Structure 1
Amino acid sequence: MAISTSLRRAPFSVLAALVATAAISAATFAAEEKGWENKVNTSVAPTAEGKKFTREELKQGILGFFTAGDPKRLAAILPQDFVLRLSPTLPYGGEHRGPEGFMNMLKGTIALFESFKTQADPILDAGDYMILPIRITAKSKIGREMKIENLWLFKVSDGRLVSATIYADSGASLAATGYLKEDAQMRWPER
Protein backbone atom coordinates (compact mmCIF):
# COMPACT_ATOMS: atom_id res chain seq x y z
CA MET A 1 0.00 0.00 0.00
CA ALA A 2 1.58 3.29 -1.07
CA ILE A 3 0.84 6.52 0.74
CA SER A 4 -0.29 9.32 -1.55
CA THR A 5 1.55 12.62 -1.85
CA SER A 6 -1.34 14.46 -0.20
CA LEU A 7 -0.99 12.32 2.94
CA ARG A 8 2.71 13.18 3.21
CA ARG A 9 1.68 16.74 4.07
CA ALA A 10 -1.33 15.77 6.15
CA PRO A 11 -1.71 16.94 9.75
CA PHE A 12 -0.76 14.55 12.55
CA SER A 13 -4.42 13.69 13.20
CA VAL A 14 -4.82 12.36 9.65
CA LEU A 15 -1.61 10.36 9.92
CA ALA A 16 -2.68 9.05 13.31
CA ALA A 17 -5.96 7.90 11.78
CA LEU A 18 -3.99 6.14 9.03
CA VAL A 19 -1.86 4.44 11.66
CA ALA A 20 -4.92 3.38 13.63
CA THR A 21 -6.51 1.76 10.59
CA ALA A 22 -3.47 0.41 8.73
CA ALA A 23 -3.09 -3.34 8.47
CA ILE A 24 -0.22 -4.63 10.58
CA SER A 25 1.88 -7.25 8.87
CA ALA A 26 2.04 -10.70 10.45
CA ALA A 27 5.72 -10.19 11.22
CA THR A 28 5.28 -6.96 13.21
CA PHE A 29 7.29 -6.84 16.39
CA ALA A 30 5.65 -6.16 19.71
CA ALA A 31 7.67 -3.32 21.14
CA GLU A 32 8.92 -3.60 24.68
CA GLU A 33 8.35 -0.85 27.21
CA LYS A 34 12.02 0.05 27.42
CA GLY A 35 13.29 3.51 26.61
CA TRP A 36 16.61 5.14 25.96
CA GLU A 37 18.12 7.71 28.24
CA ASN A 38 20.26 10.68 27.38
CA LYS A 39 23.36 8.67 28.32
CA VAL A 40 23.44 6.68 25.05
CA ASN A 41 26.65 6.40 23.06
CA THR A 42 26.14 8.47 19.91
CA SER A 43 29.39 7.78 18.11
CA VAL A 44 28.80 6.94 14.45
CA ALA A 45 28.31 3.28 13.57
CA PRO A 46 29.56 1.63 10.38
CA THR A 47 27.36 2.50 7.40
CA ALA A 48 25.05 0.23 5.44
CA GLU A 49 26.28 1.53 2.10
CA GLY A 50 25.34 -0.83 -0.72
CA LYS A 51 23.54 -3.30 1.58
CA LYS A 52 19.98 -4.46 1.17
CA PHE A 53 18.00 -5.63 4.17
CA THR A 54 14.92 -7.78 4.66
CA ARG A 55 11.82 -6.15 6.12
CA GLU A 56 12.52 -7.95 9.40
CA GLU A 57 16.10 -6.64 9.54
CA LEU A 58 14.85 -3.10 8.93
CA LYS A 59 12.25 -3.47 11.69
CA GLN A 60 14.84 -4.89 14.09
CA GLY A 61 17.18 -1.97 13.40
CA ILE A 62 14.45 0.60 13.94
CA LEU A 63 13.14 -1.03 17.11
CA GLY A 64 16.68 -1.63 18.35
CA PHE A 65 16.94 2.12 18.75
CA PHE A 66 13.54 2.80 20.26
CA THR A 67 13.07 -0.23 22.50
CA ALA A 68 16.60 -1.35 23.35
CA GLY A 69 18.10 2.14 23.59
CA ASP A 70 20.78 1.39 21.00
CA PRO A 71 20.94 4.11 18.29
CA LYS A 72 23.81 2.28 16.57
CA ARG A 73 21.36 -0.47 15.56
CA LEU A 74 19.37 2.07 13.54
CA ALA A 75 22.45 3.94 12.28
CA ALA A 76 23.94 0.64 11.06
CA ILE A 77 21.11 0.17 8.55
CA LEU A 78 21.13 3.74 7.22
CA PRO A 79 22.81 4.41 3.86
CA GLN A 80 24.81 7.62 3.33
CA ASP A 81 22.02 9.11 1.19
CA PHE A 82 19.34 8.54 3.88
CA VAL A 83 17.47 11.78 4.71
CA LEU A 84 15.86 12.44 8.11
CA ARG A 85 13.45 15.39 8.21
CA LEU A 86 11.90 17.11 11.19
CA SER A 87 10.48 20.53 11.87
CA PRO A 88 13.08 23.25 11.22
CA THR A 89 11.65 25.22 14.16
CA LEU A 90 13.30 22.80 16.59
CA PRO A 91 16.86 23.55 17.78
CA TYR A 92 17.93 20.16 16.34
CA GLY A 93 15.45 20.29 13.41
CA GLY A 94 15.82 20.41 9.65
CA GLU A 95 17.30 17.80 7.32
CA HIS A 96 19.94 15.35 8.48
CA ARG A 97 21.73 13.03 6.05
CA GLY A 98 23.14 9.55 6.53
CA PRO A 99 24.02 7.76 9.76
CA GLU A 100 26.18 10.67 10.91
CA GLY A 101 23.31 13.12 10.41
CA PHE A 102 21.00 10.86 12.41
CA MET A 103 23.52 10.61 15.26
CA ASN A 104 24.08 14.39 15.22
CA MET A 105 20.32 14.99 15.45
CA LEU A 106 20.19 12.56 18.37
CA LYS A 107 23.05 14.38 20.12
CA GLY A 108 21.26 17.69 19.61
CA THR A 109 18.06 16.28 21.03
CA ILE A 110 19.44 14.58 24.12
CA ALA A 111 21.66 17.55 24.95
CA LEU A 112 18.49 19.46 25.89
CA PHE A 113 17.06 16.85 28.24
CA GLU A 114 17.88 15.51 31.68
CA SER A 115 15.88 12.36 30.91
CA PHE A 116 14.28 11.17 27.69
CA LYS A 117 12.39 7.87 27.41
CA THR A 118 10.59 6.44 24.41
CA GLN A 119 7.99 3.74 24.14
CA ALA A 120 7.38 2.40 20.65
CA ASP A 121 4.17 0.90 19.35
CA PRO A 122 4.38 -1.93 16.83
CA ILE A 123 5.72 -0.94 13.42
CA LEU A 124 3.00 -0.75 10.78
CA ASP A 125 4.27 -2.14 7.49
CA ALA A 126 2.53 -0.30 4.65
CA GLY A 127 4.46 -1.42 1.58
CA ASP A 128 6.64 1.51 0.56
CA TYR A 129 6.45 2.85 4.12
CA MET A 130 7.03 1.69 7.67
CA ILE A 131 5.11 3.71 10.24
CA LEU A 132 6.21 3.89 13.87
CA PRO A 133 4.16 5.71 16.49
CA ILE A 134 6.11 6.46 19.67
CA ARG A 135 5.42 8.08 23.01
CA ILE A 136 8.01 10.24 24.70
CA THR A 137 8.30 11.12 28.36
CA ALA A 138 11.07 13.61 29.05
CA LYS A 139 12.35 16.19 31.47
CA SER A 140 14.34 19.08 30.04
CA LYS A 141 17.49 20.46 31.57
CA ILE A 142 15.49 23.51 32.67
CA GLY A 143 13.19 21.20 34.67
CA ARG A 144 10.09 21.09 32.46
CA GLU A 145 8.36 17.78 31.88
CA MET A 146 6.95 16.71 28.54
CA LYS A 147 4.72 13.85 27.39
CA ILE A 148 4.12 13.74 23.65
CA GLU A 149 3.44 11.37 20.79
CA ASN A 150 5.51 11.29 17.61
CA LEU A 151 5.11 9.47 14.37
CA TRP A 152 8.14 8.34 12.35
CA LEU A 153 7.31 7.71 8.69
CA PHE A 154 10.10 5.67 7.07
CA LYS A 155 10.26 5.45 3.25
CA VAL A 156 11.51 2.02 2.14
CA SER A 157 12.81 1.12 -1.32
CA ASP A 158 14.65 -1.94 -2.56
CA GLY A 159 15.66 -3.21 0.89
CA ARG A 160 16.85 0.20 2.12
CA LEU A 161 15.57 2.96 4.36
CA VAL A 162 15.52 5.95 2.00
CA SER A 163 14.17 8.63 4.32
CA ALA A 164 12.21 9.31 7.47
CA THR A 165 9.98 12.20 8.41
CA ILE A 166 9.27 12.79 12.08
CA TYR A 167 5.84 14.23 12.80
CA ALA A 168 6.25 15.62 16.29
CA ASP A 169 4.61 18.08 18.63
CA SER A 170 7.16 20.83 18.01
CA GLY A 171 5.35 23.29 20.24
CA ALA A 172 5.53 21.00 23.28
CA SER A 173 9.22 20.30 22.63
CA LEU A 174 10.03 23.99 22.27
CA ALA A 175 8.06 24.88 25.40
CA ALA A 176 9.72 22.13 27.45
CA THR A 177 13.22 23.19 26.44
CA GLY A 178 12.60 26.94 26.64
CA TYR A 179 13.31 27.46 22.92
CA LEU A 180 10.06 29.10 21.83
CA LYS A 181 10.96 31.53 19.08
CA GLU A 182 8.96 34.69 18.42
CA ASP A 183 9.12 34.22 14.64
CA ALA A 184 8.68 30.42 14.61
CA GLN A 185 6.27 29.21 11.97
CA MET A 186 5.10 25.72 12.73
CA ARG A 187 5.18 23.82 9.45
CA TRP A 188 5.86 20.35 8.10
CA PRO A 189 9.32 19.61 6.72
CA GLU A 190 9.73 20.40 3.04
CA ARG A 191 10.01 17.54 0.58
Structure 2
Amino acid sequence: MNDQNQATAPTAPTAPTAPTITYQSAELLLTVVQKEYDSEDERSKILDTRVNIFLPVSVALLAFIASFLKLTDITKKKVNNVMDALPQTLFIVFAILSIVILLIAIIIFIKVISIQKYKRLNVDDITDDMLRYESDKTAVGLVRLYKENTKFNTEINNKKVRLYQLGIYLISVSITLAVIMYIFYINL
Protein backbone atom coordinates (compact mmCIF):
# COMPACT_ATOMS: atom_id res chain seq x y z
CA MET A 1 0.00 0.00 0.00
CA ASN A 2 2.81 2.19 0.54
CA ASP A 3 3.44 2.24 -3.11
CA GLN A 4 0.02 3.66 -3.92
CA ASN A 5 0.25 6.48 -1.44
CA GLN A 6 3.53 7.78 -2.68
CA ALA A 7 3.20 10.98 -4.55
CA THR A 8 4.98 11.14 -7.78
CA ALA A 9 6.88 14.25 -8.62
CA PRO A 10 5.33 16.11 -11.48
CA THR A 11 7.41 15.95 -14.61
CA ALA A 12 8.32 19.12 -16.40
CA PRO A 13 6.46 19.58 -19.62
CA THR A 14 8.67 18.85 -22.56
CA ALA A 15 9.26 21.63 -25.01
CA PRO A 16 8.03 20.88 -28.46
CA THR A 17 10.95 20.00 -30.63
CA ALA A 18 11.50 22.24 -33.57
CA PRO A 19 11.02 20.42 -36.82
CA THR A 20 14.28 19.77 -38.57
CA ILE A 21 14.35 21.72 -41.79
CA THR A 22 15.73 19.78 -44.65
CA TYR A 23 16.69 21.28 -47.96
CA GLN A 24 15.85 18.44 -50.26
CA SER A 25 16.63 20.32 -53.46
CA ALA A 26 19.81 21.98 -52.16
CA GLU A 27 22.20 19.59 -53.87
CA LEU A 28 20.33 19.89 -57.17
CA LEU A 29 20.40 23.68 -56.93
CA LEU A 30 24.08 23.56 -56.05
CA THR A 31 24.75 21.71 -59.29
CA VAL A 32 22.80 24.29 -61.28
CA VAL A 33 24.54 27.26 -59.64
CA GLN A 34 27.96 25.65 -60.10
CA LYS A 35 27.24 25.22 -63.82
CA GLU A 36 26.29 28.89 -64.11
CA TYR A 37 29.42 29.87 -62.21
CA ASP A 38 31.55 27.71 -64.52
CA SER A 39 29.75 29.18 -67.54
CA GLU A 40 30.72 32.72 -66.47
CA ASP A 41 34.29 31.56 -65.93
CA GLU A 42 34.36 30.08 -69.45
CA ARG A 43 32.81 33.26 -70.86
CA SER A 44 35.65 35.25 -69.32
CA LYS A 45 38.26 32.98 -70.87
CA ILE A 46 36.65 33.33 -74.31
CA LEU A 47 36.62 37.12 -74.02
CA ASP A 48 40.25 37.19 -72.95
CA THR A 49 41.19 34.95 -75.90
CA ARG A 50 39.37 37.20 -78.35
CA VAL A 51 41.01 40.30 -76.94
CA ASN A 52 44.39 38.60 -77.16
CA ILE A 53 43.72 38.15 -80.89
CA PHE A 54 42.58 41.70 -81.60
CA LEU A 55 45.25 43.42 -79.52
CA PRO A 56 48.13 42.32 -81.80
CA VAL A 57 45.96 43.03 -84.86
CA SER A 58 45.49 46.58 -83.58
CA VAL A 59 49.21 47.02 -82.99
CA ALA A 60 50.01 45.65 -86.47
CA LEU A 61 47.47 47.99 -88.04
CA LEU A 62 48.99 50.87 -86.11
CA ALA A 63 52.44 49.99 -87.46
CA PHE A 64 51.01 49.70 -90.98
CA ILE A 65 49.43 53.14 -90.81
CA ALA A 66 52.52 54.68 -89.25
CA SER A 67 54.65 53.34 -92.10
CA PHE A 68 52.75 55.61 -94.51
CA LEU A 69 53.45 58.73 -92.49
CA LYS A 70 56.56 59.92 -94.23
CA LEU A 71 56.25 63.67 -94.12
CA THR A 72 59.11 64.06 -96.58
CA ASP A 73 57.03 62.34 -99.27
CA ILE A 74 54.04 64.48 -98.47
CA THR A 75 55.92 67.77 -98.49
CA LYS A 76 57.81 67.06 -101.75
CA LYS A 77 54.76 67.63 -103.87
CA LYS A 78 54.37 71.23 -105.04
CA VAL A 79 51.14 72.87 -104.13
CA ASN A 80 49.93 75.64 -106.43
CA ASN A 81 46.49 76.17 -104.97
CA VAL A 82 44.20 74.99 -102.19
CA MET A 83 42.78 72.17 -104.27
CA ASP A 84 46.25 70.73 -104.79
CA ALA A 85 46.77 70.65 -101.01
CA LEU A 86 43.48 68.90 -100.32
CA PRO A 87 44.70 65.30 -100.88
CA GLN A 88 47.72 65.81 -98.61
CA THR A 89 45.61 67.48 -95.94
CA LEU A 90 42.97 64.74 -96.03
CA PHE A 91 45.68 62.07 -95.98
CA ILE A 92 47.17 63.58 -92.82
CA VAL A 93 43.75 64.03 -91.18
CA PHE A 94 42.67 60.45 -91.90
CA ALA A 95 46.04 59.07 -90.77
CA ILE A 96 45.93 60.96 -87.48
CA LEU A 97 42.30 60.00 -86.85
CA SER A 98 43.03 56.36 -87.62
CA ILE A 99 46.04 56.31 -85.28
CA VAL A 100 44.18 58.03 -82.43
CA ILE A 101 41.21 55.68 -82.75
CA LEU A 102 43.52 52.65 -82.84
CA LEU A 103 45.33 53.85 -79.71
CA ILE A 104 41.99 54.19 -77.94
CA ALA A 105 41.03 50.65 -79.07
CA ILE A 106 44.35 49.29 -77.76
CA ILE A 107 43.80 51.00 -74.40
CA ILE A 108 40.27 49.55 -74.25
CA PHE A 109 41.54 46.03 -75.03
CA ILE A 110 44.17 46.32 -72.31
CA LYS A 111 41.43 47.45 -69.93
CA VAL A 112 39.35 44.37 -70.84
CA ILE A 113 42.27 42.11 -69.96
CA SER A 114 43.10 43.90 -66.74
CA ILE A 115 39.57 44.50 -65.49
CA GLN A 116 38.61 43.68 -61.92
CA LYS A 117 39.24 40.19 -60.56
CA TYR A 118 36.50 37.61 -60.23
CA LYS A 119 35.05 36.40 -56.97
CA ARG A 120 36.05 32.86 -56.13
CA LEU A 121 35.26 30.52 -53.31
CA ASN A 122 37.99 30.75 -50.73
CA VAL A 123 38.93 27.18 -49.83
CA ASP A 124 40.87 28.48 -46.83
CA ASP A 125 37.52 29.33 -45.23
CA ILE A 126 36.55 25.66 -45.09
CA THR A 127 37.16 24.40 -41.59
CA ASP A 128 37.08 20.94 -40.05
CA ASP A 129 33.88 21.91 -38.22
CA MET A 130 32.15 22.46 -41.55
CA LEU A 131 32.89 18.90 -42.54
CA ARG A 132 30.53 17.76 -39.80
CA TYR A 133 27.53 19.72 -41.14
CA GLU A 134 24.67 17.95 -42.78
CA SER A 135 25.15 17.80 -46.53
CA ASP A 136 21.91 19.61 -47.41
CA LYS A 137 22.76 22.53 -45.13
CA THR A 138 26.29 22.71 -46.51
CA ALA A 139 24.83 22.69 -50.02
CA VAL A 140 22.54 25.62 -49.10
CA GLY A 141 25.52 27.63 -47.90
CA LEU A 142 27.45 26.84 -51.06
CA VAL A 143 24.45 27.74 -53.24
CA ARG A 144 24.35 31.16 -51.61
CA LEU A 145 28.09 31.69 -52.11
CA TYR A 146 28.03 30.53 -55.72
CA LYS A 147 24.97 32.65 -56.45
CA GLU A 148 26.60 35.79 -55.02
CA ASN A 149 29.88 35.14 -56.84
CA THR A 150 28.14 34.33 -60.12
CA LYS A 151 26.15 37.58 -60.01
CA PHE A 152 29.34 39.54 -59.34
CA ASN A 153 31.28 37.73 -62.10
CA THR A 154 28.41 38.21 -64.58
CA GLU A 155 28.51 41.97 -64.02
CA ILE A 156 32.26 41.98 -64.66
CA ASN A 157 31.85 39.90 -67.83
CA ASN A 158 29.09 42.22 -69.05
CA LYS A 159 31.49 45.17 -68.62
CA LYS A 160 34.15 43.25 -70.52
CA VAL A 161 31.72 42.50 -73.36
CA ARG A 162 30.70 46.16 -73.68
CA LEU A 163 34.34 47.27 -73.76
CA TYR A 164 35.26 44.50 -76.21
CA GLN A 165 32.43 45.50 -78.56
CA LEU A 166 33.53 49.13 -78.37
CA GLY A 167 37.10 48.10 -79.19
CA ILE A 168 35.93 46.09 -82.21
CA TYR A 169 33.83 49.02 -83.40
CA LEU A 170 36.82 51.37 -83.05
CA ILE A 171 39.06 48.98 -85.00
CA SER A 172 36.44 48.85 -87.77
CA VAL A 173 36.30 52.64 -87.92
CA SER A 174 40.09 52.82 -87.93
CA ILE A 175 40.36 50.30 -90.77
CA THR A 176 37.84 52.30 -92.79
CA LEU A 177 39.82 55.48 -92.18
CA ALA A 178 43.06 53.68 -93.07
CA VAL A 179 41.59 52.54 -96.40
CA ILE A 180 40.52 56.09 -97.18
CA MET A 181 43.97 57.30 -96.09
CA TYR A 182 45.59 54.75 -98.40
CA ILE A 183 43.46 55.95 -101.31
CA PHE A 184 44.70 59.49 -100.72
CA TYR A 185 48.26 58.19 -100.36
CA ILE A 186 48.08 56.55 -103.79
CA ASN A 187 46.91 59.83 -105.30
CA LEU A 188 49.69 61.92 -103.76
TM-score (norm 2): 0.21
User: Relative to total residues, which structure has the larger helix share, 1 or 2?
Assistant: 2
User: Relative to total residues, which structure has the larger strand share, 1 or 2?
Assistant: 1
TM-score (norm 1): 0.21
Higher relative contact order (CA 8 A, sep 6+): 2
